[in-house]
A and B are shown apart, each in its own frame.
Chain A
Amino acid sequence: MPTVHQNRRRPKMRQMLQQLWHALMVGWDLYLFAFGYGIVFVLLGIAAISLSGHSMSTSAMSDGPGWTAPNAVHWFGTSRDGIDMMGPVLHAAGRSIWLALLATVGGSLAGLAVATLFFFVWRERGYRMLDRLAGWGAAIPAIFMVLTLAAGHGAGFGVTLLILSGLCALFVAGRSGRWFHELESSGDVLAARALGYSRRRLLIDHLFTRLWKHAAASAATLLPGVLLAEAALGFTGIGAQVSPAANRIGMLIAEGNETLFDAPWLVFFPGLVLWILCVVLATFAWAVRRTLGEAIDERLF
């Protein structure tokens, strides 16, 4: 009889394993959460080690002339000048987020405004033009960036904001053109035109009421990418400022890169914070898209 018992249990076990495997393989969102929680556990581990009074491996992170490796007092270690790194890292992360948010929202609104202009003036031809522009037009901010670098000055916060907003605007304008085109050929918009709606009223009553969903979902999806792009620009020195208080996360990583082997925490912690922010923002974007009923592109998450 034990064989019968075993035979009864085996399919259940197999089923459970299959379900688990299916959840792991198909439910990509589980990966995302597992990834996010993994980071939280790593952080908690670091905090626990720090609180227990043991400094992290001194062989790898040796104390230099002015700096201190992460310990119970300085969780993120200190810089060459002996400044605790937690404050600057969090401050820089805050600035980076605000910059990315500003660029995303501003760029998205600008893109939407351009598409709205095309809705009134050029319509179908304009939408096609926007779509093409969104493809090759991405080169414009890149050229602008190269020219700024070649000129040899960072020009501060504004340049970064301009480049990132430009990229967002191009992306959103191209997308908005497609949304306008789709919505314009939908039955109720055609029926509204047949009733004698003006373009302005069509836009306010029929298009904007449905367009905002696409725009919000698109902006949320762009945000983690823009944050990474902002960090990359900061790393290359675009938008560098004289005041250290105006540092951003990419700049901190670039600074820490110079002493990577002597003081790796100067790169590790800004990088870790950037990573966490990206994961959190990607999760947020995923939640926004799912709430608004927008299609989720698995390649993005």
Chain B
Amino acid sequence: MPPILSVNDLTVTYPDRGEASVVATREVSFHLEPGEILGIVGGVGSGKTTLIRTLSGLLPREARFFSGSATLDPGAEGEIDLIQMRSRHWRRLRRHRLAVFFREVISQWNPLRTVRQHVRETLQLAGRKREARIEADWMPVFYEVGLIEPENLLGRYPHQLPEVVLLRFLIGMALLKGADLWIADEFTSGLDATSEDQILRLLRELAEKRRIAVLLGTPRFGVIERVADRVAVLFEGGVVESGAVLDVLRRPKNRFTRALLDCQPRLGERRHRLTEIDPSARRDAIDTTRGVGE
């Protein structure tokens, strides 16, 4: 199956005011197929957010694309170069095909507007003015994402609803506008374990049923294990290891991945303190991402 998104050797840097530039992502490569969920795992400062913002066109202007490419619908007649794309084309893409979810769900909602206004705006921006007027058309989608009596929730303000409900509405809005590429950055981090599990299961179902490609950034292997098909482990902006989730989790090739897996807290285990990543594993990871010894 042809991929929907292809990223090749993408390097993004931030200028550091006269000093050496900070390399946020370093020669990152992957591809994403329709209906597939790709997990990007890494700790703080590993470059997940920069990668996600690059692919959703939300990077600050001062960030520079040093090298590489990111292409939507590669090989197709109307393939889109995401790196060279102008801001008005980005807007069009985000209105129709792209859905982006950030961490802290509540902060993604304008506190001065009701849920109804948010849904209506999303549809209007997507050019679906008829659907924006007829609320009855929204309901099957909102029921599909697991909302109970959504018609009674539409008039509420975001602060009046729990985060999991808001997240379900966000997912519903992405379905309503017909986005086929979803990019999520730690979007379940504010949820309790049960709600998170429900949302991840929903994400899995929707990806399979509607052939949605999902790029999911998270610092936790537990999330990836439950939902993703493939995983890429990031360290200091570079991909340390990538492959099918089960392969990487069961037989990690890189020492850094093994160390990262050891650090994950597990239910039933009582540790005096969490395992820290060995500095030599970090050095190995740096060597791998920078191509030393290859």
Contact = CB atoms under 8 A, between A and B. Distances in A.
B61 A188 contact: no
Interface stretch (B31-39, B103-111, B194-202): B103-111
Contact of A209 (B62, B98, B106, B112): B112
A255 interface: no
Contact of B102 (A187, A209, A210): A187
A191 B109 contact: yes
B225 interface: no
Contact of B108 (A191, A196, A198): A191
A27 to B, nearest CB: 31
A196 B91 contact: yes
A263 to B, nearest CB: 58
A195 B112 contact: no
Nearest to A184: B60
B100 interface: yes
Secondary structure type dominating chain B contacts = mixed
A196 B95 contact: yes
B284 interface: no
A59 interface: no
Nearest to A210: B112
A195 B95 contact: yes
Contacts, number: 56
Contacts of B71: none
Contacts of B91: 196-198
A196 B102 contact: no
B109 A196 contact: no
Contact of A188 (B56, B95, B111, B122): B111
Contacts of B156: none
Contacts of A210: 112
B107 A188 contact: yes
A3 interface: no
Interface residues of A, number: 19
A68 to B, nearest CB: 60
Interface string B86-124: 000001111110111010101111111000000001100
Nearest to B122: A195
Interface string B31-63: 000000000000000000000000010101110
Interface in A169-224: 186-188, 190-198, 205-206, 209-210
Contacts of B112: 209-210
A197 to B, nearest CB: 7
Given A187-B106, A188-B111, A195-B95, 8 more contacts: A124-B62, A188-B110, A192-B110, A194-B58, A194-B98, A195-B121, A196-B91, A196-B93
26 contacts: A123-B61, A124-B61, A186-B107, A187-B104, A188-B108, A188-B109, A188-B111, A190-B102, A190-B108, A191-B102, A191-B107, A192-B110, A193-B58, A193-B94, A194-B94, A194-B99, A194-B100, A196-B91, A196-B92, A196-B93, A196-B94, A196-B95, A196-B96, A197-B91, A197-B125, A198-B91
Q: Which 7 A/B pairs are nearest by Cβ-Cβ distance?
A: A187-B107, A196-B95, A191-B108, A194-B100, A196-B94, A196-B91, A188-B110
